[in-house]
């Protein structure tokens, strides 16, 4: 990963890509301007949906030239951290709600050589984040309940991001937003203090590996709206 900065970064979620063509889809979104690639891992237990595990993450790693941002929606997390680190994750985010020992989990992620991300559900407050601030590189504020792409943005999270931005101060911690990001919602979060914007359906809509230009137009529209709100 490059050095820390708060510029707007667009992180397409491959949850909305063609699952039979991950390699080509990743090369297409990076060629069209993606800054990071967001990889959603779901276990059918912590969230009501299943996606894929470490072997798939390892298989797509060589196709990613930017940052592989792995969002673990799984419980328990700890038994799988080394496998995702060995698969080549740059950032691993675990959920605050995934178990009783998030502090241990975050230690293990950094111990495995990855940047540590803390993901928080829409229903969770920031009180439990305070004592974790010095051991994380990113907070992922969920703006939908995790489990599915294409859901509606939850506006109550705007105030959460403003409060979080103040809590972070000048620490080098990214604020990532995940769920329902479009050119309409991205500016709300950029203004509140977010810098990494995950978008699945809003990036992939209208395009394909044969016709990737819409991916670029979608990424540029989200970025322009967010930057204008800064």
Q: Active-site positions?
A: 40, 178
Does position 34 interact with ligand DX5 (CB under 6 A)? The reply is: no
Distance CA 10, CA 129 (A): 24
Distance CA 22, CA 202 (A): 17
Does position 38 interact with ligand DX5 (CB under 6 A)? The reply is: yes
201 binds, among Zn ion, ligand DX5, none (CB under 5 to 8 A by kind): ligand DX5
Q: Among residues 101, 100, 83, 138, which one has the least CA distance to residue 116?
A: 138
The nearest distance, CB 134 to ligand DX5, in angstroms, is 25
- Which residues define the annotated binding site? 13, 38, 40, 71, 147-150, 178-180, 200-201
Does position 147 interact with ligand DX5 (CB under 6 A)? The reply is: yes
Tell me which residue has its CB nearest to ligand DX5: 200
Distance CA 100, CA 87 (A): 26
- Which residues define the annotated binding site for substrate? 13, 71, 147-150, 178-180, 200-201
Please identify, among the stretches 20-28, 55-63, 122-130, 144-152, the one whose residues bind ligand DX5 according to the rule CB under 6 A.
Answer: 144-152
| Sheet strands (E) in 104-227 | 115-120, 138-142, 174-178, 196-199
User: x/- binding map, residues 10-29, to ligand DX5, per CB under 6 A?
Assistant: ---x-xx-------------
Are 180 and 143 in contact, with CB atoms under 8 Å apart? yes
């Amino acid at each position: 990963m490059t050095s820390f900065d708060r510029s707007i970064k667009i992180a397409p979620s491959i949850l909305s890509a063609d699952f039979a063509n991950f390699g080509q889809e990743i090369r297409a979104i990076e060629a069209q301007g993606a800054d990071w690639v967001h990889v959603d891992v779901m276990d059918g237990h912590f969230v009501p949906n299943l996606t894929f595990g470490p072997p798939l993450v390892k298989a797509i790693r060589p196709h990613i030239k930017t940052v592989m941002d792995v969002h673990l929606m799984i419980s328990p997390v700890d038994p799988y951290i080394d496998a995702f680190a060995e698969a080549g994750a740059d950032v691993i985010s675990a959920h605050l709600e995934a178990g009783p020992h998030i502090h241990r989990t975050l230690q293990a992620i950094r111990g495995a050589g990855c940047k540590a991300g803390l993901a928080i559900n829409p229903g969770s407050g920031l009180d439990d984040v305070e004592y974790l601030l010095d051991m994380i590189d990113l907070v992922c504020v969920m703006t939908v309940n995790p489990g599915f792409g294409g859901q509606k943005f939850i506006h109550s999270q705007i105030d959460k991001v403003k409060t979080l931005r103040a809590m972070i101060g000048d620490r080098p911690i990214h604020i990532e937003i995940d769920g329902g990001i479009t050119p309409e919602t991205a500016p709300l979060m950029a203004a509140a203090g977010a810098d990494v914007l995950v978008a699945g359906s809003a990036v992939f809509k209208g395009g394909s590996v044969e016709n990737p230009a819409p991916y670029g137009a979608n990424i540029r529209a989200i970025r322009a709206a967010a930057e204008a709100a800064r």
